[in-house]
């Protein structure tokens, strides 16, 4: 429905695909990348919100973006560049009427752009909620200007009244297919085709029952069809199940479809769909009692292959609040199509007095088959359009639009456990792939990003489309066995003092890997003096026996096996500082000149960092100041939206603060009072070497820290 959303979703797919198949609920992304200006381009205009509707106009090089009361034309290559915009505001009179009907003037009585489609003559069709009185118009882009034609077409049934209600729409051959509510109260849901002849669904709970519309897609099913079938339009939605035999309301996911050539019936189902059929869709998540609910879909077709091989990817979320997992299931169009073409129907049966039970219909099915498009068989019987369909067929489908069969995803299970998506107060452009984040062939292949591959010649992980040479990649299984042996990592020299502490840093490129350490080829286990941390190895109260070659290795499992890489290597030796003066390295000698100087240097540094940290906290309002708390309250959006980027920008300073031993003294003061002094001495000698900064496991300052 929204191209960019789909892009986002599929950009995230590779991350999630790395999960092991047998643990769909194991939900660690392989790598997390914080939002930052350098990662994504942002467009937003001051005071304008709800950038919710998008239309990709590659022919014009535009991303057309609908927000509240405005439409923007943005540069497709850099959406932070606005090329044109047009306002579409509600009049004061419309606003007053909306308010008089009991709607919130600030929230509801605006014109939220909801429909944006390209028409055959290269213009665009736009609809907005228009203060609970939906209206549509034509819009064109020429000479760097967006122009609305002010046609003022009725938008009922095309665009929702209520901006908070979900809807779906699609347009071809100048016919708008829309799924929304037709009335002010939102109680008349329809699937409608607007022109040339308007056709819609019946107002019956067996057709649509408190639905939440999700998306629409078309399928060119007439192509090379032996049966002379028609093209179809699919609708994905969720609704309260009429067929549920349960006491409480149960929401289920559905796919419905109609035939493009449908003109409605002659007497029965006049101006209504004669081909509206729907079926339940399942995305079985192991631990869930209640079915997951469909939230968005993406149609994927290989242009070289027939429509039958197209897939629908759908995102599902739980209907209870007990879990925040989401799931993606993939469906074959041919599986869905087959259920509608050949499956059994469900039929209501009255039980006792007022109760209706839905069971599989096993009686005689009229000919032509109810809900089928007009095909060769119908044509040979003299039925060339739906207006010719017999009442028996039409009455059957009017009463039984639901199929008995439940549509299962490929493999009968979700593709993955978790999906990360966010809402935004602007529009964000994120590249499909940033292959450059992978520095080794192993990482490039294990990330299983379908857009990236390892170029043996240049020794880089690069975009598939930007390469002529053969690349190494294995998206399906993450088989990295073709990767050349990685260049050995450069060992770093590190020194220790007897009695001092040393941290050897090692950050694995993947959150799905495990790291372990070796000293002189022998695996290290955690000990009181040797702590294996997530980001490194900590040697406490060092002695001469701690010298040697330390290697940090990372093991990651894929479907084809375990892959081990060396992430870092350190040559640890006794410090050359104090050569000729054996006492200088002994703990007792800490009152010596160099150590005191080091202590002073570190404390000075600490004071500066502390001040910086304090200033930063004031700036962000973690510590309220009389003059800025009001400002914060006035701009909650600003605060929220800037959150991640602020956190990221300050990361270097925080990292500095993180390396300060002062905090460790506070946390661990009682048990180890002299640590600070020891570390200060070490810190002074090794000031330039970032990797060797001394640290303690308990040292942690995050951006929420209270001082
Ligand atoms: C529009 O955006 C504002 C600000 O984020 C939000 O409060 C409001 O609920 C949004 N309205 C709709 C219809 O989404
Ligand atoms: C590490 O020390 C060795 C000698 O002990 C030396 O040959 C080597 O160049 C040093 N490496 C670095 C990166 O300083
Ligand atoms: C450090 O190790 C030495 C022996 O190597 C030991 O005598 C001393 O007590 C240890 N210090 C601490 C604080 O654990
Ligand atoms: C991984 O790829 C190599 C080379 O293509 C192949 O020989 C090997 O069988 C594959 N391993 C698995 C487990 O599929
Ligand atoms: C801002 O950051 C805090 C702490 O990292 C987090 O709890 C909060 O959800 C973030 N807010 C947004 C809008 O990202
Ligand atoms: C202090 O350090 C010791 C080991 O050095 C650790 O076991 C302990 O948990 C730390 N105390 C705190 C409060 O972090």
Selection from 467-471, 491-495, 596-600 with the highest mean pLDDT: 491-495
Does residue 668 line the site of ligand 3, with CB under 6 A? no
| Residue range 557-575: mean pLDDT, rounded | 90
* Better pLDDT: 322 or 523: 523
CA of 637 to the centre of ligand 5 (A): 12
Does residue 395 line the site of ligand 3, with CB under 6 A? no
Residues 31 and 24: their CA atoms lie apart, in Å, by 17
pLDDT at 170: 96
pTM of the model: 0.65
List ligand 4's pocket residues with C-beta within 6 A: 479, 481-482, 560-561
3-state secondary structure of 22: coil
CA of 152 to the centre of ligand 1 (A): 25
Helix axis angle for 593-620 and 675-685, nearest 10°, is 100
- Looking at all shown ligands, the one closest to residue 492's CA atom is 2
Output the residue whose Cα is nearest ligand 4's atom 10.
479
Residues 130 and 688: their CA atoms lie apart, in Å, by 63
Whether 117 shows a pLDDT value over 70: the answer reads yes
Whether 420 shows a pLDDT value over 60: the answer reads no
pLDDT at 356: 86
pLDDT at 632: 31
* pLDDT tens-digit readout, 19-58: 333 344 455 778 877 767 677 778 888 888 888 889 999 9
Output the residue whose Cα is nearest ligand 4's atom 5.
482
Atom of ligand 5 nearest to the CA of 702: 5
pLDDT at 590: 36
Tell which phi-psi region holds residue 224, choosing left (phi > 0), alpha (psi between -120 and 50) or beta: left
Residues 273 and 277: their CA atoms lie apart, in Å, by 9
Best residue among 491, 493, 573, 575 to mutate for probing ligand 2, ranked by most atoms within 8 Å of CB = 493
Does residue 543 line the site of ligand 3, with CB under 6 A? yes
pLDDT at 426: 67
Given a contact cutoff of 8 angstroms between Cβ atoms, the answer to whether 504 and 570 are in contact is yes
Peptide bond into 414 cis (omega under 30): no
Best residue among 105, 107, 128, 161 to mutate for probing ligand 1, ranked by most atoms within 8 Å of CB = 107
Strand partners, 212: 238
- Looking at all shown ligands, the one closest to residue 559's CA atom is 4
Atom of ligand 6 nearest to the CA of 528: 4
Q: Give me the long-range contacts of 373-376 (CB less than 8 A, separation at least 24).
A: 373/221, 373/229, 373/230, 373/232, 373/259, 373/261, 373/262, 373/275, 374/230, 374/259, 374/261, 375/225, 375/227, 375/228, 375/229, 375/230, 376/227, 376/228
* Better pLDDT: 671 or 34: 34
pLDDT at 437: 87
CA of 542 to the centre of ligand 2 (A): 21
* pLDDT tens-digit readout, 291-312: 899 999 999 999 999 999 999 9
Atom of ligand 6 nearest to the CA of 698: 14
């Amino acid at each position: 429905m929204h191209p960019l959303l789909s892009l986002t979703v599929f950009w995230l797919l590779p991350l999630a695909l790395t999960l092991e198949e047998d643990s769909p609920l194991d939900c660690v992304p392989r790598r997390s990348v914080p939002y930052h200006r350098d990662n994504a381009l942002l467009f937003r205009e001051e005071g304008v919100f709800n950038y919710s509707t998008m239309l990709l106009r590659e022919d014009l090089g535009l991303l057309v973006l609908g927000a509240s009361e405005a439409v923007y034309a943005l540069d497709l290559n850099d959406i932070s560049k606005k090329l044109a915009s047009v306002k579409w505001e509600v009049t004061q009179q419309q606003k007053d009427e909306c308010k008089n009907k009991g709607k919130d003037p600030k929230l509801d009585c605006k014109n939220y752009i909801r429909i944006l489609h390209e028409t055959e003559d290269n213009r665009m069709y736009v609809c907005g909620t228009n203060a609970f009185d939906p209206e549509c118009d034509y819009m064109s882009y020429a000479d760097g200007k967006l122009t609305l034609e002010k046609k003022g077409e009725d938008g009922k049934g095309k665009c929702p009244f209520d901006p908070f209600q979900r809807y779906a729409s699609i347009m071809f051959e100048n016919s708008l297919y829309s799924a929304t509510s037709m009335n002010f109260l939102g109680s008349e849901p329809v699937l409608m085709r607007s022109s040339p002849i308007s056709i819609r669904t019946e107002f019956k709970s067996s057709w649509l029952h408190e639905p939440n519309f999700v998306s629409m897609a078309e399928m060119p099913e007439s192509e090379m069809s032996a049966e002379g079938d028609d093209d179809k339009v699919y609708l994905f939605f969720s609704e309260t199940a009429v067929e549920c035999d349960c006491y409480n309301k149960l929401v289920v996911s559905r796919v419905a479809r109609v035939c493009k050539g449908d003109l409605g019936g002659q007497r029965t189902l006049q101006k209504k769909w004669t081909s509206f059929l729907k079926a339940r869709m399942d995305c079985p998540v192991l631990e869930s009692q209640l079915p997951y609910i469909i939230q968005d879909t993406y149609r994927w077709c290989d242009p070289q292959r027939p429509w039958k091989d197209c897939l629908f990817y759908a995102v599902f979320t739980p209907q209870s609040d007990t879990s925040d997992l989401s799931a993606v299931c993939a469906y074959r169009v041919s599986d869905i199509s087959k259920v509608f073409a050949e499956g059994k129907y469900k039929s209501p049966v009255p039980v006792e007095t007022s109760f209706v039970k839905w069971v599989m219909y096993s009686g005689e099915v009229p000919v032509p088959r109810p809900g089928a498009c007009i095909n060769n068989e119908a044509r040979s019987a003299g039925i060339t359009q739906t207006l010719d369909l017999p009442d028996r067929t039409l009455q059957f489908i009017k009463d039984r639009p639901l199929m008995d069969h439940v549509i299962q995803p490929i493999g009968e299970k979700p593709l993955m456990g978790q999906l990360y998506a966010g809402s935004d107060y602007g529009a964000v452009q994120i590249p499909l792939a940033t292959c450059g984040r992978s520095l080794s062939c192993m990482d490039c292949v294990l990330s299983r990003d379908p857009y990236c591959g390892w170029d043996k010649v240049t020794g880089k992980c690069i975009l598939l489309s930007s390469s002529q040479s053969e690349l190494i990649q294995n998206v399906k299984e993450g088989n990295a066995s073709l990767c050349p042996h990685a260049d050995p990592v450069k060992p770093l020299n590190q020194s220790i003092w007897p009695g001092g502490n040393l941290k050897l840093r090692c950050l694995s490129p993947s959150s799905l890997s495990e790291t372990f350490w070796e000293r002189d080829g022998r695996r290290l286990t955690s000990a009181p003096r040797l702590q294996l941390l997530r980001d490194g190895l900590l040697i406490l109260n060092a002695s001469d026996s701690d010298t040697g070659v330390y290697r940090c290795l990372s093991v990651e499992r894929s479907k084809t096996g375990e892959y081990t890489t060396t992430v870092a290597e350190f040559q640890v030796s006794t410090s050359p500082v104090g050569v000729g003066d054996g006492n200088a390295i002994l703990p007792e000698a800490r009152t010596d000149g160099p150590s005191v100087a080091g202590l002073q240097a570190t404390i000075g540094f600490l004071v500066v960092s502390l001040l910086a940290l304090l200033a930063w906290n004031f700036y962000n309002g973690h510590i309220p100041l009389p003059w800025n708390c009001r400002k914060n309250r006035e701009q909650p959006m600003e605060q929220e939206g800037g959150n991640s980027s602020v956190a990221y920008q300050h990361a270097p300073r925080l990292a500095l603060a993180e390396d300060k031993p002062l905090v460790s003294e506070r946390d661990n003061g009682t048990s180890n009072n002299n640590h600070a002094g020891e570390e200060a001495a070490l810190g002074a000698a090794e000031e330039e070497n970032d990797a060797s900064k001394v640290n303690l496991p308990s040292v942690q300052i995050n951006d929420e820290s209270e001082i």
